């Protein structure tokens, strides 16, 4: 089985992390880039208008995504453990994500994990 791979622009992901850490709410970004075979290349993250509750963030207009949007990335603020909730998977399937990421962070640590909608854990490369 081939592992899918996500290639991230280091500056782009650093900005997302900073933005996520600046609030106790979930932050959502659209991953803009391309897919070549088993590899995704994220070149930009855009920030759509969202609806959010204390623990849940959602795009207001997922249907208005640009064509080169390959998926989403959102944060799980103040959590020690990295996990995917059933709502994360459901939301990604509904929105047509090819890949989705979760940035889990707490005071002195973090995890960044990516998944495809068929739940394969992905290899992440920052460069
Ligand atoms: Zn989530």
What are the structural domains, with CATH classification, of the chain? 5-48+64-126 (3.40.140.10)
Q: What is the pLDDT of residue 34?
A: 96
Q: Is 4 exposed, middle or buried (0-12, 13-18, 19+ CB in 10 A)?
A: buried
Residues near ion ligand 1 (CB < 5 Å) are 88
> Averaged over 5-11, what is the pLDDT?
95
39 Cα to the center of ligand 1, angstroms: 23
Digit-coded pLDDT (tens) for 23-56: 999 999 999 999 998 899 999 999 999 887 666 7
85 Cα to the center of ligand 1, angstroms: 6
79 Cα to the center of ligand 1, angstroms: 11
45 Cα to the center of ligand 1, angstroms: 17
Q: What angle do CA 76, 41, 104 make, to 5 degrees?
A: 10
pTM of the predicted structure, to 2 decimals: 0.87
- Give the pLDDT band (50/70/90) at residue 89: confident
Percent of the chain with pLDDT over 90: 52
- Give the pLDDT band (50/70/90) at residue 75: very high
73 Cα to the center of ligand 1, angstroms: 9
């Amino acid at each position: 089985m081939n592992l899918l791979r996500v290639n991230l622009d280091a500056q782009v992901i650093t900005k997302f992390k900073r933005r996520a850490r600046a609030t106790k709410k979930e932050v959502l970004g659209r991953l803009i880039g391309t897919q070549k075979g088993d590899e995704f290349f994220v070149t930009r993250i855009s920030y759509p208008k969202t609806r959010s509750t204390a623990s849940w963030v959602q795009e207001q207009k997922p249907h208005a995504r640009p064509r080169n949007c390959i998926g989403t990335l959102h944060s799980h603020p103040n959590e020690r453990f990295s996990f995917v909730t059933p709502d994360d998977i459901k939301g990604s399937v509904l929105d047509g994500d090819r890949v989705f990421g979760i940035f889990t962070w707490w005071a002195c640590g973090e995890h960044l994990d990516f998944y495809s909608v068929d739940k394969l854990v992905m290899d992440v490369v920052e460069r």
